[in-house]
Amino acid sequence: MQKNKPCIAIDAMGGDFGPSVVVRGALDALRSDELKVILVGREAEIRAELEAANARDADVEIVHAEQVIEMQDKPSDALRRKKSSSIQIAFRLVKEGRADGVVSAGNSGATLACGMFTLGRIEGIDRPALAGILPTEKKPMVLIDVGANVDCKPHNLVQFALMADVLARSVLGVAKPRIGLMSIGEEEGKGNYQVKLAYDMLRKSSLNFKGNVEGRDVFTGDVDVVVCDGFVGNVVLKLSEGLALSLGRLLKRELLAGFWSRCGTLFSKGALRRFSRRIDYAEYGGAPLLGLKGIGIVCHGASNAKALNNAIHMAATFVKNRSNDHLLQELSVNRDLVQYRRSVQSSSASAVKKLDDPLDIDAANLANP
């Protein structure tokens, strides 16, 4: 749809705080970027928030949506029973050409399901994936998948790598992203059956593949993309979040433990503030939903206005940089690999679960990123 300015449809009812936070995030994004926004949700509630922010005349479009998909709703039920929900209508705006992308802090499984069934997948992509952007010692990196697909085939991992490569180049500005494959050892030949096959396929691809990486390598910044299935990725993501919170609490406890520690804290406020900003999830906005015929950003349910603002900026950057066009080019170059299918017949692979090719979008097993 893109003409002069990217237009982002925002699920105003999503997240733990609904319009009270989403509207403020959208207004902040309008003030700091050249874009348009469409707020989708219950019009009366949205207008009340605009009034409260003294922004009743703000240049925003409102599209009324009476229904709201709650966090506890099963995605498949939401698809069938809540066709007038804010999430579904937001994706329909993209399909109709009225918007270029969607941002939602609502039910992540429903967001994936609505995006999948409304927009469809890019040709050559079997399973859309959620990409997390994590801080490292050097610069942000991409972890994919972080929860959309808990069971994967090797060629799915290759497709994830291709999508994350485009994300790293288009949004993070990395000229030639270094790709690592999550395994239990750095040496070639380490890992389970899925990882070993994916390793061989990635080595033959056009990507800047650096081989296997271990969990301890994620935050060193030595690779720009780490590829894994959604089960492993979600564990890594949640462990990282929990560790960051615990370290922050431990650090605060120690800094306030005694007089001299408190004195030292006064001189370290600037450094502590910068450290807190680097590990704050709000700095990265949300998790891009890659592989759809359109842009989708899934935000944390507890997102504040800052997180929503940054997620809207990310969606606009995707549109401005024509990221999906670049992905289609990558898929064309690696066509033989992304269409790869391997029938497992040997007895040594009998323990490997064989998955159906169609995406199981019931999403009951979709982890909330």
Flag whether pLDDT at 363 surpasses 50.
no
Strand ranges in the chain using DSSP code E only, listed in sequence order:
7-11, 36-41, 61-64, 101-104, 129-134, 141-144, 178-182, 208-213, 225-227, 287-290, 295-298
Q: What dihedral angle (degrees, nearest 10) is formed by the CA atoms of 19, 21, 26, 31?
A: 140
Digit-coded pLDDT (tens) for 41-81:
999 999 999 999 888 778 899 999 999 988 888 888 888 89
For residue 109, the model assigns a pLDDT of 86
The whole-chain average pLDDT of the chain stands at 82
For residue 267, the model assigns a pLDDT of 59
For residue 261, the model assigns a pLDDT of 67
- Quote the percentage of the chain above a pLDDT of 90: 35
Flag whether pLDDT at 268 surpasses 80.
no
Flag whether pLDDT at 300 surpasses 90.
no
Comparing C-alpha atoms, which of 285, 327, 282, 354 is closest to residue 170?
327
Flag whether pLDDT at 98 surpasses 90.
yes
Domains and CATH numbers, the chain: 1-125+291-321 (3.40.718.10), 132-282 (3.40.718.10)
Flag whether pLDDT at 262 surpasses 70.
no
- Mean pLDDT of the 245-273 span: 70
Digit-coded pLDDT (tens) for 132-164:
888 888 888 999 989 888 889 999 999 999 999
Token code pair at residue 357:
């090719």
Q: How many Å apart are CA 295 and CA 251, to the nearest integer?
A: 38
For residue 274, the model assigns a pLDDT of 62
The percent of the chain in helix, strand and coil, each rounded to the nearest 5, is 45, 15, 40
Strand ranges in 66-119 using DSSP code E only, listed in sequence order:
101-104
For residue 272, the model assigns a pLDDT of 54
Digit-coded pLDDT (tens) for 169-211:
888 889 999 999 999 988 888 888 899 999 999 998 889 999 9
Flag whether pLDDT at 253 surpasses 70.
yes
pTM of the model: 0.80
For residue 338, the model assigns a pLDDT of 61
Angle at the Cα of 327 from the Cα atoms of 109 and 11, rounded to 5 degrees: 35
Residues 6+ apart with CB under 8 A from 170: 317, 318, 321, 323, 326
Digit-coded pLDDT (tens) for 349-362:
444 444 333 334 44
The sign of the CA dihedral 229, 230, 233, 235 is negative
- Mean pLDDT of the 217-226 span: 92
